[in-house]
Amino acid sequence: MAGLFITGTDTGVGKTFVTRGIASALRARGRRVGVMKPVETGCGGTASRHPADALALRAAAGSKLSLDRICPYQLDAPLAPDVAARLENTRIDPATIVAAYRAIRAGHDLTLVEGAGGLLVPIVERYSMADLARDLDLPLLVVVDSRLGAVSHTLLTLEAAAARGLAVRGYLLNHAAAPDEAAATNASILSRCTDSPCLGAIGWTPAAERDPGAVVEPAIDWERLLPVDEGD
């Protein structure tokens, strides 16, 4: 397996935290981990770009690659990629992303690609994150914000992936917001409503930063995420 595409049920659900955690854990096992954030929005003005997610991923993987390679498109406005690019009179080229990914993949055992927003967020016109995952030929890990509404959001994401022929390794529950009554029942409901496996559950919120590796390493089902014949 060349890598994983980490998507989520929404924005702000913990995709970057989970990707950092996986990268850190695999790096500790001696794996050469590549990381990529193909498009990052909300990076600030052109004179002072700060792709926070890409920087965090690079640090977690211990990568020496340039930010331009890890994150080919860094955009100012905190909006969907296609919208943010149009505001800067820029057109995102999926071929540029694919080429950057292949260059990263060539020098690593496994490459983690973190999407922006949810699976169907448009990158350019009707080309979405799902289309990118297909073109990169990567299986998905879906990060779920386990709160009220998570069941529908998760099932819709999984259904969209299946409709496009995308492989899904499973989903990871994250309590990205204050726990509510739904959080206590989401795992059991989802287990009854989908054959995609739950690969674990973590508790992380943007307001309470924790060590990603320490949180993800013991929580995730590594055998299902990275089967032995592919991950070792």
User: Secondary structure of 70-121 in the HEC alphabet?
Assistant: HCCEECCCCCCHHHHHHHCCCCCCHHHHHHHHHHHHHCCCEEEEEEEEECCC
For residue 66, what are the domain limits? 3-231
Question: Looking at the predicted structure, is the pLDDT value of residue 229 above 60?
Answer: no
- The confidence score (pLDDT) of residue 231 equals 47
Question: Looking at the predicted structure, is the pLDDT value of residue 230 above 80?
Answer: no
Q: What is the mean pLDDT of the chain?
A: 93
Q: How confident is the model at residue 48 (pLDDT cuts 50, 70, 90)?
A: confident
Q: How confident is the model at residue 152 (pLDDT cuts 50, 70, 90)?
A: very high
Question: Looking at the predicted structure, is the pLDDT value of residue 172 above 70?
Answer: yes
Mean per-residue pLDDT, 2-29: 95
Report the 10 Å Cβ neighbour count for 192.
7
Question: Looking at the predicted structure, is the pLDDT value of residue 89 above 80?
Answer: yes
Question: Looking at the predicted structure, is the pLDDT value of residue 206 above 80?
Answer: no
Question: Looking at the predicted structure, is the pLDDT value of residue 38 above 50?
Answer: yes
Mean per-residue pLDDT, 104-114: 97
41-55, 71-85, 209-223: least confident range: 41-55
Q: Where on the phi/psi map is residue 35: left (φ > 0), alpha (ψ -120 to 50), or beta?
A: beta
Catalytic choice (15, 37, 147, 169): 37
Contacts of 156 (CB under 8 A, 6+ apart): none
- The confidence score (pLDDT) of residue 122 equals 97
| Total number of domains constituting the chain | 1
CA distances from 152 to 89, 159, 176 (A): 35, 10, 17
User: Does the annotation count 64 as an active-site position?
Assistant: no
Question: Looking at the predicted structure, is the pLDDT value of residue 140 above 70?
Answer: yes
Q: Are 172 and 145 in contact (CB under 8 A)?
A: no
Burial zone of 90 (CB within 10 Å; 0-12 exposed, 13-18 middle, 19+ buried): middle
> How many percent of the chain have pLDDT more than 90?
84
- The confidence score (pLDDT) of residue 228 equals 64
Question: Looking at the predicted structure, is the pLDDT value of residue 178 above 60?
Answer: yes
Q: What's the CATH code of the domain at 173?
A: 3.40.50.300
Helical segments of the chain, H only: 15-28, 52-61, 67-70, 81-87, 94-106, 129-136, 150-163, 186-193, 212-219, 222-225, 228-231
Question: Looking at the predicted structure, is the pLDDT value of residue 197 above 60?
Answer: yes
- The confidence score (pLDDT) of residue 1 equals 63
The length of the chain in residues reads 232
How many CA atoms lie within 13 Å of 16's alpha carbon, on the beta-carbon side?
21
Q: Are 135 and 98 in contact (CB under 8 A)?
A: yes
- The confidence score (pLDDT) of residue 204 equals 83
Question: Looking at the predicted structure, is the pLDDT value of residue 163 above 80?
Answer: yes
